[in-house]
Chains A and B, each alone.
Chain A
Amino acid sequence: MFAITPNILSSFMNSLSRYVILLSLILISVSIFLIIFLENDYYQGISFKIMFIHVPTAWLSLAIFLVMGISSIVALIFKSPTAFTVARSLSPIGLIMSIIVLVTGSVWGNLTWGAYWVWDARLTSMLILAFIYLGHILLLYSFEHFQKADFAASVLAIIGLVNLPIVKFSVDWWTTLHQESSVFRIGGPSMTNDYLITLLVSFFGIFMLTIFWFSNIFYIIVEKRKIERSKLLND
């Protein structure tokens, strides 16, 4: 299991990446088509359609951090270079996702609640998640040797895992302005099927885009290291 080197993973993902990006483009264009022709919500009107970007990116920003944390645990315990590189290439994607969540959320909030930002538990914990992503990236670039950087950043990722259940369950544990979950809730999704299908199509489109993006960043890191290594050998 731990015989997967960064090279093998990189070339495996590269062989699939053209299909992944094709699938992602198809799903995203289908979801745009669906979103445009979808009937408005009875209460919020057209502004609820921000949900179809907001919710998939929110799920992904949490899921990316979960993968990052787990691969950091594996990396620290088994000293696996592949797991370190996976964590390293995921954090910029997670940061962009959480920024998209915060921006679309505040636009939506202004249209519905009447405020761009409030300090309730969900919004604050999401902001902390974005800051942990930022800290992870900063730690990765503040050491001269990448092994040291990887070590420090994975400790941060493991500690940051504590924040994930807080983001997810903040709307259930405390009273918040943010509404509760609509899809993963007791008693089934609280939206009609056409909305749910659009949401899932949009999610899988953005998910495939994330995988494509991840494989590209991973590839670049692996190739950069190869060049650096050959330079060191030639000197």
Chain B
Amino acid sequence: MRIIKLNNRIKKRFIFLLIIFACFSASIFLISYSLKDQIAYFVEPTDLKSMDGIENKYLRVGGLVKTNSLKFLDGNWVFEVVDQNQNSVNVVFSKTLPNLVEENKGIIVEGKFIDNIFVAEIVLAKHDENYMPQSAIDKLKEEGKWRGN
């Protein structure tokens, strides 16, 4: 086997590139680490408990629409956004909901807290990464393995 001798200039160029790359990625890491609260698109209802001064602050809250909570009252949509820790937020929304908003499905609401009720200005449906035809679900239901609604 022939031993490849790295000549000096190639070695120098390699080290130079390595240093540039390392410096640049370190700076990107530091920027994104210090801005991680701004980069996060939404907070969960649990996170709201540890935040102070949330009244009248423009926020995005994400979670699932609580089962049996989605109602249409006096021209407003009223529902609860719940997360894995069962903490929930009461939401009021006065415009048309996106098609995919259903109970027990993902949702992101954008707006402000007014008197402990979240008044949403924008509502977005958040779907998950699972894709399945209805026939596969029927099959799972027959076998008793389906865990959705």
Query: How far is B24's CA from A195's CA once the two chains are assembled, in angstroms?
Result: 39
Contact B21 A179 (CB under 8 A): no
Q: Indicate which residue in B10, B14, B36, B127 contacts A179 across the interface (CB closer than 8 Å).
A: B127
Contact A159 B24 (CB under 8 A): yes
Q: Give 1 or 0 for each of A168-188: 1 = CB within 8 Å of chain B CB.
A: 000000111101111001000
Query: How far is B127's CA from A132's CA once the two chains are assembled, in angstroms?
Result: 29
Return chain B residues, CB-CB under 8 Å to A119: 41
Q: Indicate which residue in B41, B127, B129 contacts A112 across the interface (CB closer than 8 Å).
A: B127
Contacts between chains A and B (CB distance < 8 A), count:
112
What band does the interface of chain B fall in when counting residues whose beta carbon is under 8 Å from A?
A: 35 or more
Query: Which A residue's beta carbon lies closest to that of B123?
Result: A114
Chain A stretch 31-84: residues in CB contact (< 8 A) with chain B: 38-44, 48, 51, 73, 76-78
Chain A stretch 111-130: residues in CB contact (< 8 A) with chain B: 111-115, 118-121
Is A161 among interface residues, defined by CB-CB distance under 8 A?
Answer: yes
Q: Indicate which residue in A40, A112, A179, A190 contacts B133 across the interface (CB closer than 8 Å).
A: A40
Is A191 among interface residues, defined by CB-CB distance under 8 A?
Answer: yes
Return chain A residues, CB-CB under 8 Å to B21: 158-159, 161-162
Contact A121 B25 (CB under 8 A): no
Is A166 among interface residues, defined by CB-CB distance under 8 A?
Answer: yes
Query: How far is B40's CA from A110's CA once the two chains are assembled, in angstroms?
Result: 21
Q: A43-B105, A73-B17, A174-B41 are in contact. Are A114 and B124 (CB under 8 A)?
A: yes
Query: How far is B62's CA from A179's CA once the two chains are assembled, in angstroms?
Result: 13
Contact A179 B129 (CB under 8 A): yes
Is A192 among interface residues, defined by CB-CB distance under 8 A?
Answer: yes
Q: A43-B105, A162-B24, A166-B32 are in contact. Are A180 and B41 (CB under 8 A)?
A: no
Query: Which B residue's beta carbon lies closest to that of A41?
Result: B131
Q: A42-B134, A43-B100, A177-B108 are in contact. Are A77 and B14 (CB under 8 A)?
A: yes
Main secondary structure of the interface of A (DSSP, over half): loop
Closest-CB distance, A203 to chain B (whole angstroms): 15
Chain B stretch 14-59: residues in CB contact (< 8 A) with chain A: 14, 17, 20-21, 24-25, 28, 32, 36, 39-44
Query: How far is B43's CA from A115's CA once the two chains are assembled, in angstroms?
Result: 19
Query: How far is B129's CA from A112's CA once the two chains are assembled, in angstroms?
Result: 13
Number of interface residues of A (CB under 8 A): 42
Is B114 among interface residues, defined by CB-CB distance under 8 A?
Answer: no
Query: How far is B21's CA from A177's CA once the two chains are assembled, in angstroms?
Result: 30
Q: A42-B134, A44-B100, A190-B129 are in contact. Are A76 and B39 (CB under 8 A)?
A: no
Query: How far is B13's CA from A157's CA once the two chains are assembled, in angstroms?
Result: 16
Return chain A residues, CB-CB under 8 Å to B125: 112-114
Contact B41 A176 (CB under 8 A): yes
Contact A180 B131 (CB under 8 A): no
Return chain B residues, CB-CB under 8 Å to A176: 41
For this complex, 12 residue pairs linking A to B, each with C-beta atoms less than 8 Å apart, are A42-B134, A77-B14, A113-B125, A114-B124, A115-B122, A121-B39, A159-B24, A162-B24, A177-B42, A177-B126, A191-B131, A195-B131
Chain B residues proximal to chain A, CB less than 8 Å: 10, 13-14, 17, 20-21, 24-25, 28, 32, 36, 39-44, 62, 98-100, 102, 105, 108, 122-137
Closest 5 A/B residue pairs (Cβ): A114-B98, A39-B133, A120-B41, A191-B131, A182-B129
